[in-house]
Each structure stands twice: as C-alpha cells, then as structure tokens.
Amino acid sequence: MFENTWIETSSWGLGIALVYWLIFSQLRVPDISWQVIGIAVATAIVEELTFSGFISGYLERYAKGSWWNLILTGSMAGVMRLPIATFVYRLSPIATLGVFLLAFSITMIHSWIRQKTGNVAGGMIARIGLNLAILG
C-alpha cells in the first residue's frame, strides 16, 4: 500500500489535485474554519485508505492491473453515497446520479494512481486537493 514510489505517486497526486483545483475552486464556500479543513483532510485520508488502499489492493490480488478492479472500487464508493444523497440531502434523481458519477470517477482515478504506483499516498494527495478545492 505504501511502496517506495513516493516521487511518482506524489507527482500523480499533485497533478490530479491541480486539475481538481482548477475545476472546483470556482465553488466559493464562505467562512471556512480550521475544523472544517481538518475534517476535509481526515475524510480524504480515511476514504483513500479504505477504497484506494484496502479494497483496490485486495482486488489486485485476484486481477492485477485490471480495469474491473477500478470499476468495482468506484462503484462501491458511489453506492456508499446514495443513501446520504437520497435520504439526508433529499436530492433529485438526476442530482443523486451526479453524486454517484462524481464519487465513481474520482475513486477510479485515485485507485488507478495506486494501481500504477503501488502507493496510496498519491490518491490521498489528490483527494485532499479535491476537498480543499471544493471548500474554496
């Protein structure tokens, strides 16, 4: 999960984080506290360890380098968010589909970084960049 590919995985993570920043930094959220930033960073680390690290790493044992690993991991991350989008935020079906597709694609990208480098840190860096970009 933490192979000796720090430069490669960090480069991928920073590159993807920059793309996220360019896309999502337009969403300005006012009055962000350090607690919210801490939650964004902690969430990124825990979710990347879970999906890109544990689940994707486990699937790699059975089909190393397979796109199916990425699709399954992305689907699991997307499905995990459906009850929250539907029952907590009461999003429309189209908005809920958007939440699923965003979580699916982001998890696939971060799992691909882990698959390519053998290190989950790149996905963590990219995810922290995404969360902070969304916060503004």
pLDDT at 37: 81
pLDDT at 133: 87
Structure tokens at 3: 């192979």
Task: Tell me the domain boundaries of the chain.
Answer: 6-135
Residue 111, C-beta contacts closer than 8 angstroms, at least 6 positions apart: 51, 52, 56, 69, 70, 73, 74, 123
Q: Please name the amino acid found at residue 33.
A: S
DSSP 89: S
3-state SS, residue 119: strand
User: pTM value?
Assistant: 0.84
> Mind listing the pLDDT tens digit of every residue in the chain (136 residues)?
666 788 898 999 999 999 988 888 776 666 777 788 888 899 999 999 999 999 999 999 998 889 999 999 999 999 999 999 999 999 999 999 999 999 999 999 999 999 999 999 999 999 999 998 888 7
**Do residues 44 and 124 lie in contact, with contact meaning Cβ atoms separated by under 8 Å?**
yes
